[in-house]
Amino acid sequence: MQFEHSYSFDPSYGYSLADLLTIPAPLAFPDFAKFWRQRYEQVLHHDPQPLIKLSDGDHADYDSYDLSYHSTDNITVGGWLLVPKYQPITQGIVVGHGYGGRDQPDYHLAIPGAVLLFPCFRGLSRSRCSVFSDQPQYHVLHDIDNPKRYVLGGCVDDLWLAVSSLLFLFPEVTGQIGYMGISFGGGIGALGVPWDPRIQRAHFNVPSFGQQPLRLKLPTCGSAAAVQKYARQHGNVSETLRYYDAATAACYGLQAAHFAVALFDPVVAPPGQFAIYNAWTGTKKLFVLEAGHFEYSHQAAQEQALLQELRTFFG
């Protein structure tokens, strides 16, 4: 799709849909899977001790709770929990957010029978703390020189422990767990979901962190621009980023997955998004957006059509 815009680069990068559907994942190096499986096993033994408190206000369909739980590195993660008022609970879904964070839960999702847990990843929104900047261009660089300490790995820990918290609070959803994530949250999900067999299905909306070699080259106004600048000033960051390539992780994704990926996106380059979709190993469904991180005339109609698909996919 071609749109009028004021960017100094082409957010479609000259790729057609056919081109995008051929973008591969970088080859996994020998200890990629070991790195993530060991991390998951360590986090699985962590007790998140979730706490919930009924939120102020009222909603027609949900009881809303303020949520907190303990994550790794002594981080307290805050968020929300939505519990259906008038439907039996048949599943649980963890919902990730973009790099802008979130200031409330997504009441509009209305997934049938789902209790919805909305964590704020470490350093962002309700999980702000002195350790991390809440500005994306700085947050994305935190400990980028250390593969084991890089902030994205900690955010994946937060996701896994959100699942642990959900199962502690609602053990009846065991075997019926989903994940939904957009942009930053989509990338964190693509990194984390493949290693967690407690998650049965997932939705990734314009996911970030795919095809890191391309992400370091393609012009952008997203968090990748900060990584590119850091790499130019301080040297090679590929030693860390090769562990944090969501497309490489997708090669290990066996769960059923639904993808919404964009043909035009100035913040998360489409080749990286499609690389994640292309590499996903399990059953997958594709929803092509005209654009991501950009307003366009058909946006509302596409978002409504996508929401209907998600209600079917998770329903």
Taking alpha carbons only, the member of 94, 301, 120, 246 closest to residue 181 is: 94
Give the mean model confidence (pLDDT) for residues 174-179.
Answer: 98
**Two structure tokens written together for 28:** 């996994």
Q: Residue 2 falls within a domain, yes or no?
A: no
What is the structure's pLDDT at 284? 98
Q: Measure the CA–CA gap between 14 and 165, rounded to whole angstroms.
A: 43
Write down the pLDDT at residue 315. 87
Residues 82-134 pLDDT 10s: 999 999 999 999 999 999 999 999 999 999 999 999 999 999 999 999 999 99
For residue 35, the enclosing domain spans 20-314
Domain assignment of residue 66, yes or no: yes
Is residue 45 assigned to a domain?
yes
For residue 146, tell me if it sits in a domain. Answer: yes
Looking from the CA of 162 toward its CB, the CA atoms found within 13 Å total 36
Mean pLDDT of 66-93: 97
pLDDT in tens, 226-251: 999 999 999 889 999 999 999 999 99
**What is the sign of the dihedral through the CA atoms of 70, 77, 196 and 93?**
positive
Domain at 145, CATH number: 3.40.50.1820
Number of domains in the chain: 1
Residue 3 lies in a domain: no
Q: Decide if 283 is inside a domain.
A: yes
Token representation of residue 254:
């066996």
pTM above 0.85, yes or no: yes
Write down the pLDDT at residue 1: 63
Query: Per the domain annotation, does 303 fall within a domain?
Result: yes
Q: Is the pLDDT of residue 58 over 90?
A: no
Read off the pLDDT of residues 195-213 as tens digits, 9 standing for 90 and up. Answer: 999 999 999 999 999 999 9
